[in-house]
Amino acid sequence: MIDTATALLMAAVLAGTPLLLGALGEILTEKSGNLNLGVEGMMFMGAIAGLIGSYSYEQALTAAGFEPSGAISALVALIVSFLAGAFGALIYAFLTITLRANQNVTGLILTIFGTGFGNFFGEYFGLKAGGYVTVSSVTKAAFSPIHFPLLSDIPVLGKLLFQYNWMVYFAVAVALVMFWFFRKSRFGLNLRAVGEDPAAADAAGISVARYRYLATVIGGGICGIGGMYMSMVTTSGVWVHGCVTGYGWLAVALVIFATWSPLRGVLVAVIFGGLMIMRMYITIPGLPAQIYDMVPYLATILVLIITSVRQSKEHAMPAGCGLNYFREDR
């Protein structure tokens, strides 16, 4: 019983991490007042870029006669996937902030573009590599569970807390930093003001455009890293066609479920991850497995309805979210 529970929890954490990263990126974006529905697109871009980054690094070093290093390979994947996600977000930011395009439509187009981007280059490099792209065992090892001396050997707790790959800890760290950033830092408070009431922030001398650009681009980069998790950890460094499909939208749902709080995001990500893999661990007689798949979405709808009925200001989407800011309209 305890074994099943531990296994379920561990699997939930692993399944929830890409969702958490995607959601954290989107929380940062939405806090600035940009509702970027292109999370899935940016995750796709990050997924393929990270994989190709690691792959190219290995190929280049091997060709030069050196032994590739797993840590550097992972770092390359991290940076390149961040840049790819940030690039997608930059297109979005340019269109919505500078060119004043509709946020919903731009985000959806970013999803179409990013999905095409990921699958296109995934197949393209696959064809070039003669079948499919895959990274070497060195990189795979860098993305496998870490064994901490002593800590990992604690019974149950060691397994639950100190048995994951580095990206899980990275995601939690990002959540903690974001929590501090929104609550305590001057920039974070300014950013929240921009998202809640851009006109007031503007009047107070905060550059709305600059904050929105930065938050959106960095948020997109974090989403890209979440996508990289899919291609490097979930599929173990092999490009699988459409590997991110659905995850990006779940990440958007997670933002609502977490009510725009990074720390609650961690908790909710584990719950979502658990719901996604639960059917492999627990079977309730008479309940078909596919019905489990609905639960995360139904839960999100429920949260949406409850928050709107209660009209809770604290747990709602930033008031300026989804609307572009025009100084002339003030």
Partner 1 sequence: MSAVKTKREPLLRMVKRDDLAPRRAWAFRGIAFVAALITGGLLIAVLGHNPLLVYKDMIVGSWGSPTVIKETVKLAIPLLICALGLALAFKMKFWNIGGEGQVIVGAIAAGYFGFFMADFLTRPMLIAVMFIAGVLAGGIYGLIPAFFKARWNTNETLFTLMLNYVALAVIKYLMNGPWKAPGSSFPKMPMLVPGGRLTTILGVHWGWILALILIVVAWFYFNRTKQGYELAVVGESENTARYVGINVRRVIMRTMFLSGALCGLVGFLQFAGADYTITEGIAGGVGFTAITVAWLAKMNPFGMLVVSVFIAMLERGSNTIQTIYKIPASASSLLIGIILFFMLGCEFFITYRLVWRGKGVADAEDTNPSVGASVEATGDPPVEKGDSAVRDSAARGGVAS
Instruction: Please identify, using beta-carbon distances, which residue of 3 and 328 lies nearer to partner 1.
Output: 328
Instruction: Please identify, using beta-carbon distances, which residue of 67 and 329 lies nearer to partner 1.
Output: 329
| Torsional class of 241: left (φ above 0), alpha (ψ -120 to 50), beta (otherwise) | beta
- Side-chain-side CA neighbours of residue 42 (13 Å): 40
Instruction: Please identify, using beta-carbon distances, which residue of 140 and 212 lies nearer to partner 1.
Output: 212
In the complex, least distance from residue 170 CB atom to partner 1, rounded to whole angstroms: 27
In the complex, least distance from residue 97 CB atom to partner 1, rounded to whole angstroms: 11
Name the DSSP letter for residue 164.
Answer: S
Instruction: Please identify, using beta-carbon distances, which residue of 7 and 304 lies nearer to partner 1.
Output: 304
Whether the CB-CB separation of 30 and 220 falls below 8 Å is answered with no
In the complex, least distance from residue 104 CB atom to partner 1, rounded to whole angstroms: 5
> CA 313 → CA 42, 178, 192, 264, 322, distances in Å?
29, 20, 14, 17, 16
- Rounded to whole angstroms, the Cα distance separating 283 from 279 reads 6
In the complex, least distance from residue 40 CB atom to partner 1, rounded to whole angstroms: 10
153: amino acid identity, one letter = D
Helix (H) or strand (E) run with residue 279 in it: none
Instruction: Please identify, using beta-carbon distances, which residue of 173 and 203 lies nearer to partner 1.
Output: 203
Chain residues that interact with partner 1, rule: CB under 8 A: 35, 37, 91, 94-95, 98-106, 108-117, 119-120, 122-124, 127, 246, 249, 252-253, 256, 288-291, 293-294, 297-298, 300-301, 304-305, 308-309, 311, 317, 321-324, 326-329
- Rounded to whole angstroms, the Cα distance separating 281 from 172 reads 25
**For residue 20, what are the contacts with CB-CB under 8 A and spacing of at least 6?**
171, 172, 175, 226, 254, 265, 266, 269
In the complex, least distance from residue 327 CB atom to partner 1, rounded to whole angstroms: 8
Q: Exposed, middle or buried, 169 (CB in 10 Å: 0-12/13-18/19+)? A: middle
Instruction: Please identify, using beta-carbon distances, which residue of 185 and 312 lies nearer to partner 1.
Output: 312
In the complex, least distance from residue 172 CB atom to partner 1, rounded to whole angstroms: 25
Closest CA to 89 of 143, 46, 31: 46
Instruction: Please identify, using beta-carbon distances, which residue of 211 and 325 lies nearer to partner 1.
Output: 325
In the complex, least distance from residue 18 CB atom to partner 1, rounded to whole angstroms: 17
